Amino acid sequence: TILIVDFGSQVTQLIARRVREAGVYSEIVPFQKAEDAFARLQPKGVILSGGPASVLDPGSPRAPQAVFEAGLPIFSICYGQQTTALQLGGAVEGGHAAEFGRAFVSVEAPSALYEGIWEVGSRHQVWMSHGDRVTRLPEGFSVKATSENAPFAVATDEARRIYTTMFHPEVYHTPDGARLIARFVRDICGCSGDWTMAAYRAAAVETIRAQVGEGRVICGLSGGVDSSVAAVLIHEAIGDRLTCVFVDHGLMRAGEADEVVSLFRGHYNIPLVHVDASDTFLAALEGVTDPEVKRKTIGKLFIDVFEAEAKKIGGADFLAQGTLYPDVIESVSFTGGPSVTIKSHHNVGGLPDRMAMKLVEPLRELFKDEVRKLGRELGLTDAFVGRHPFPGPGLAIRIPGAITREKLDILRKADTIYLDEIRKAGLYDAIWQAFAVLLPVQTVGVMGDGRTYDSVCALRAVTSVDGMTADFYPFDMAFLGRAATRIINEVKGINRVVYDVTSKPPGTIEWE
Ligand code: XMP
């Protein structure tokens, strides 16, 4: 085990991720609880994270002194470097507020930290945090690498195995950072590197059991990967004290509802309440054309239906959600300023306040690709865990203008064919998200010997890392031709197909 002492950096979870990638188990503990955790976990090494405070502020966080006295390897990053310097008798001087920036470090002396990775005399890109600075190193320490603005970019005490960096090795912009962290946890701390998703699963199950006790949990299933993985994991932990509720709003893709129901009831035998609320939703959406009104109508009804179902099964003590780590970061405002609502995203985020249930969020520490791995570990198929994201409001936001059952049927057919062609071409996994949109526009066509006057279908496919920015997918024309021909021939009601070549920004991924 590696203990990660968190001083509140926005990227502490990335340290844990890098440690996991190295096949080593770690626990992140807030600095206030680090002393107990250190005694409890008996770690083989400790990583001190960055953080927003200044070590010069009165009352600013410190690492437990016991950590320094135990003789274990320590890796101190950014704020961790400063508090390490202070706590071991060095000096720190104030700078300006912490901010990130690209920098280049020059390696001036060897260190066990980068043995086999960086050579003396070489130069490497890192992501540096500017702020307070170490001005005098504690006894036993010496500078190993510098950058223009950071004379102590890497400073270590090789004998005591304490390694400090002013830069952040855990972020993507420090290209060799993952290797440095792996080197630390495996070679220096001596962790074996055989820790796997199977071990994560077992640990997560224990954590859920400890949190939930004898309580009951309710989980809203969306059909997506995250809520499904969360539900399967929780079921493994507490069995039938978990109830899943799947609210079918009638805006699902073809076969989606059946797939979820049979997976949960048939394959996993997890108690599932399947509510067919499509009449209610479609009635409420009748004649609604404004995208925000659509979203809000669906979001509110969803909560109503979910609440009613929760009441029917006698309530629960906990609400399970498939919140991922990026959702956690994005929900925190770093600027402090109000941000503009581009779209009202609908998920079950509005529920907890109203329902007074505690939250169980077993995926809070994970990133999307790790959730997929965990899903596979839990026995979900590749096809299921590899699914493209699907928005809470479903097909409603892929039919600009008023929604009708007829339009939904047409769109489902077109969407199915489009995705079928994408799978056949072997492109599904290369694309972040692909879907058809049914436009409220009719155009003239000719089919056989007759005139048609039917709807236009737009196809969309994007690549993205996190859905925040996206590029349209560059299909070859032959592919688009095949998909278009099939859609027009097989779907009554569509006589023209166009491809959307808008990136995000300035577009968004969905059309509404
Ligand atoms: P946009 O359209 O905002 O979409 O570029 C970014 C990503 O979020 C998905 N999306 C949603 N997901 N509830 C969700 O759970 C929503 O209301 C919602 N709106 C958009 C969208 O499919 C894309 O993956």
> Which of 433, 509, 512 to mutate for ligand 1's pocket (most ligand atoms within 8 Å of CB)?
509
Please give the number of the atom of ligand 1 that sits closest to the Cα of 388: 24
Does position 349 have pLDDT exceeding 50, yes or no?
A: no
Please give the number of the atom of ligand 1 that sits closest to the Cα of 397: 19
393 CB near ligand 1 (under 6 Å)? yes
Does position 479 have pLDDT exceeding 90, yes or no?
A: yes
pLDDT value, residue 332 = 43
Pair (162, 276) in one structural domain = no
Total number of domains in the chain: 3
% residues pLDDT > 70 (the chain): 93
Does position 266 have pLDDT exceeding 80, yes or no?
A: yes
345 Cα to the center of ligand 1, angstroms:
7
Pair (231, 213) in one structural domain = yes
Pair (341, 442) in one structural domain = no
Q: What is the CATH number of the domain that holds 245?
A: 3.40.50.620
Residue bearing the CA closest to ligand 1, atom 3: 508
Residues annotated as catalytic are: 78, 168, 170
> Is residue 8 annotated as involved in ligand binding?
no
Structural domain contains residue 393: no
> Is residue 106 annotated as involved in ligand binding?
no
Does position 459 have pLDDT exceeding 90, yes or no?
A: yes
Pair (167, 220) in one structural domain = no
% residues pLDDT > 90 (the chain): 72
27 CB near ligand 1 (under 6 Å)? no
Of 89-98, 134-143, 367-376, least confident by mean pLDDT is 89-98
Q: Are 360 and 233 in contact (CB under 8 A)?
A: no
Does position 258 have pLDDT exceeding 80, yes or no?
A: yes
Q: What is the CATH number of the domain that holds 445?
A: 3.30.300.10
pLDDT in tens, 40-95: 999 999 999 998 888 999 999 999 999 999 999 999 999 999 999 999 999 999 87
Pair (41, 61) in one structural domain = yes
pLDDT value, residue 98 = 52
469 CB near ligand 1 (under 6 Å)? no
> Is residue 71 annotated as involved in ligand binding?
no
pLDDT value, residue 215 = 94
Please give the number of the atom of ligand 1 that sits closest to the Cα of 346: 17
Please give the number of the atom of ligand 1 that sits closest to the Cα of 508: 5
CA dihedral 400, 404, 410, 413 (to 10 degrees): 100
Pair (371, 450) in one structural domain = no
> Which of 331, 345, 503, 512 to mutate for ligand 1's pocket (most ligand atoms within 8 Å of CB)?
345
Structural domain ending residue among the three candidates 188, 213, 235: 188
Q: What is the largest CA-CA distance in the chain?
A: 91
Structural domain contains residue 91: yes
Pair (173, 122) in one structural domain = yes
> Is residue 225 annotated as involved in ligand binding?
yes
Map 296-358 to HEC letters.
HHHHHHHHHHHHHHHHHCCCCCEEECCCCHHHHHHCCCCCCCCCCCCCCCCCHHHHHHHHCCE
Residue bearing the CA closest to ligand 1, atom 7: 467
Residue bearing the CA closest to ligand 1, atom 20: 391
Does position 217 have pLDDT exceeding 50, yes or no?
A: yes
Residue bearing the CA closest to ligand 1, atom 22: 391
pLDDT in tens, 401-441: 999 999 999 999 999 999 999 999 999 999 999 999 999 99
Of 179-193, 343-357, 418-432, least confident by mean pLDDT is 343-357
pLDDT value, residue 169 = 96
Structural domain contains residue 512: no
Domain carrying residue 436? 402-499
208 Cα to the center of ligand 1, angstroms:
29
Complex ipTM: 0.97
pLDDT value, residue 195 = 85
Pair (371, 413) in one structural domain = no
Please give the number of the atom of ligand 1 that sits closest to the Cα of 470: 5
Pair (238, 308) in one structural domain = yes
- What are 416-422's contacts with CB under 8 Å, separation 24+? 416/253, 416/254, 416/255, 417/483, 417/486, 417/487, 417/490, 417/491, 418/459, 418/483, 418/487, 421/479, 421/482, 421/483, 421/486, 422/461, 422/483
pLDDT value, residue 329 = 57
> Is residue 192 annotated as involved in ligand binding?
no
Band of residue 128 on the pLDDT scale cut at 50, 70, 90: confident
